[in-house]
Amino acid sequence: MAYELGPLDDAFFTGGVEVHIVELSKALVRMGQSVTFLTGNTPHTKKEVWIDGIRVIRTEKFGLMKRTWNPDVLTFTRQLLFPPLAVQKILGFQERFDIIHGHIYTAGLTAYLVGKLKHAVSINTIHGSYYEVWHLLRSKRKARVYKAAERIIATLVGKLVDAQIHTESSFAKKVVEWGVGKEKVHVIFNGVNLNRFFPNKPLTDAIPRDLPIIMTARRLVPKCGVKYLVESAPIVLKRHKVRFVIIGEGPEKQKLVKKAKDLGLKIGEDILFLGSLPHEKIPNYMAAADIVAVPSIVEATSVLVMEAMAMEKPVIATNINGIREITEHLTTSYLVEPRNPKALAEGIIILLEDKLLSKKIAKKAKEKARKEFSWENIAKKTLNLYQKTLALKN
């Protein structure tokens, strides 16, 4: 496995991609596979450590990787530094690797280069795409540049590697339209750790339970749409006394806190900003939630949605490609128009008032998550692809 961001020595990580890599790797280890996760160095960590059977190795040069580490954002500089350092590191290994699996674009290019040099199969996973929403996240000029760049690099990596995995279908179809062979493009969803996320987990005592809790756990970046949840809060509070709980850090945090204050929300009472938490602690916090909100502008098959489903929590989420692919409106979730605080608020109010609907959605969601989204299922599909691709290459 190769990706620029990885877990710390105590297994602390926050992003969906890191969750995917670590949980997939753990499941592969349980299936008898040997997994090494090559990532960039981070402050106050060892160059090599074992985490749940996964060998984690960190690349470094003159302290540059440490200086470019940001737990909330994958910086452009880190993306540029990682491929040459990763290639150099892997070429120095004595052991032979059958599969080099790089996640997202630059690590995908790294997988291709190392695969060629080490005569190994190269796999790339694309964890969703901003292609359809760049115009919402950047200026018109930058959006055009980013869309063109993403089209070029996604197609290039897809043509170079032996197989490309997508965690949702819509961008996979785009890549095929752009010229990557259909036989090389595969869709394998994200997953959920069912041994960690399950109903009736012990509740954290860090959140008061005197009011219903509307919770989200996101990186505080524009694509996650947390500002729309904040904007929905005053509408909900006119009808119901509830508490909004936001878990996560990111460059948008101060803007979100200011927006909450400007909207008349009381910080620490109407809305709590709890910062980042180790992933293993999220279930105890989610156990306190009455509703889990996922107000994203763009998502792959959302890990947070799957985790909430597995914990039998009613989910309100935006009706976008990656979420729509794993859940269904009024059956396993309540879906609303993206970037619409009023619709989000109305959906929250419906779930608060219609207890039978909330319970029905949550129960059906739990059943679906347990049947379809375990990391064991995802690992089996991934291992099957590894074996098929190895057989074709040999």
Q: Give pLDDT, residue 217.
A: 95
Q: Give pLDDT, residue 184.
A: 97
Decide if pLDDT at 12 tops 90. Answer: no
What is the average per-residue pLDDT within 10-14?
A: 67
Distance from C-alpha of 251 to C-alpha of 221, rounded to nearest angstrom:
6
Decide if pLDDT at 14 tops 70. Answer: no
Collapsing DSSP to helix, strand or coil, 144 comes out as: helix
Q: Give pLDDT, residue 15.
A: 76
Q: Do domains 16-191+374-393 and 213-372 have the same CATH topology?
A: yes
Collapsing DSSP to helix, strand or coil, 64 comes out as: helix
Q: Give pLDDT, residue 257.
A: 97
pLDDT digits (tens, 9 = 90+) for 298-342: 999 999 999 999 999 999 999 999 999 999 999 999 999 999 999
Q: Give pLDDT, residue 123.
A: 98
Decide if pLDDT at 349 tops 80. Answer: yes
Band of residue 11 on the pLDDT scale cut at 50, 70, 90: low
Asked if 97 and 121 count as a contact pair (C-beta separation under 8 A), the reply is no
Asked if 175 and 358 count as a contact pair (C-beta separation under 8 A), the reply is no
The amino acid present at 89, given as its one-letter code, is K
Asked if 151 and 112 count as a contact pair (C-beta separation under 8 A), the reply is no
Band of residue 294 on the pLDDT scale cut at 50, 70, 90: very high
| CATH number among 3.40.50.300, 3.40.50.2000, 3.40.50.970, 3.40.718.10, domain 16-191+374-393 | 3.40.50.2000
DSSP output for 88-125: HHHHT--S--SEEEEESHHHHHHHHHHHHHHT-EEEEE
The residue extents of the domains of the chain are 16-191+374-393, 213-372
Decide if pLDDT at 163 tops 90. Answer: yes
Decide if pLDDT at 9 tops 80. Answer: no
CA dihedral 354, 358, 364, 366 (to 10 degrees): -170
What is the average per-residue pLDDT within 383-394?
A: 94
Phi (first) and psi of residue 48, to 5 degrees: -145, 135
Q: Give pLDDT, residue 394.
A: 77
pLDDT digits (tens, 9 = 90+) for 182-212: 999 999 999 999 999 999 999 998 999 999 9
pLDDT digits (tens, 9 = 90+) for 42-76: 988 899 999 999 999 999 998 999 999 887 778 88
Asked if 266 and 234 count as a contact pair (C-beta separation under 8 A), the reply is no
Q: Give pLDDT, residue 44.
A: 86
**What mean pLDDT is reported for the chain?**
94
DSSP 122: E
Decide if pLDDT at 384 tops 70. Answer: yes
Decide if pLDDT at 10 tops 80. Answer: no
pTM: 0.93
Decide if pLDDT at 95 tops 80. Answer: yes
Q: Give pLDDT, residue 174.
A: 96
Percent of all residues in the chain with a pLDDT value above 90, rounded to a whole number: 85
What is the average per-residue pLDDT within 369-390?
A: 97
Percent of all residues in the chain with a pLDDT value above 70, rounded to a whole number: 99
Q: In sequence order, what are the residues at sequence separation of 6 or more whose Cβ sits closer than 8 angstroms to the Cβ of residue 306?
A: 190, 191, 192, 326, 369, 373
Phi (first) and psi of residue 83, to 5 degrees: -55, -50
What is the average per-residue pLDDT within 261-281?
A: 94
Within 10 angstroms of residue 67's Cβ, the number of other Cβ atoms is: 14
What is the average per-residue pLDDT within 75-98?
A: 90
Band of residue 285 on the pLDDT scale cut at 50, 70, 90: very high
Q: Return the CATH number of the domain spanning residue range 213-372.
A: 3.40.50.2000
Band of residue 7 on the pLDDT scale cut at 50, 70, 90: confident
User: Can you name the residues that pair with 333 across neighbouring β-strands?
Assistant: 329
pLDDT digits (tens, 9 = 90+) for 115-154: 999 999 999 999 999 999 999 999 999 999 999 999 999 9
Q: Give pLDDT, residue 71.
A: 77
Distance from C-alpha of 112 to C-alpha of 7, rounded to nearest angstrom:
23
Q: Give pLDDT, residue 13.
A: 66
Distance from C-alpha of 307 to C-alpha of 289, rounded to nearest angstrom:
12
DSSP 194: T
Decide if pLDDT at 351 tops 90. Answer: yes
Asked if 161 and 183 count as a contact pair (C-beta separation under 8 A), the reply is no
Collapsing DSSP to helix, strand or coil, 185 comes out as: strand
Within 10 angstroms of residue 145's Cβ, the number of other Cβ atoms is: 13
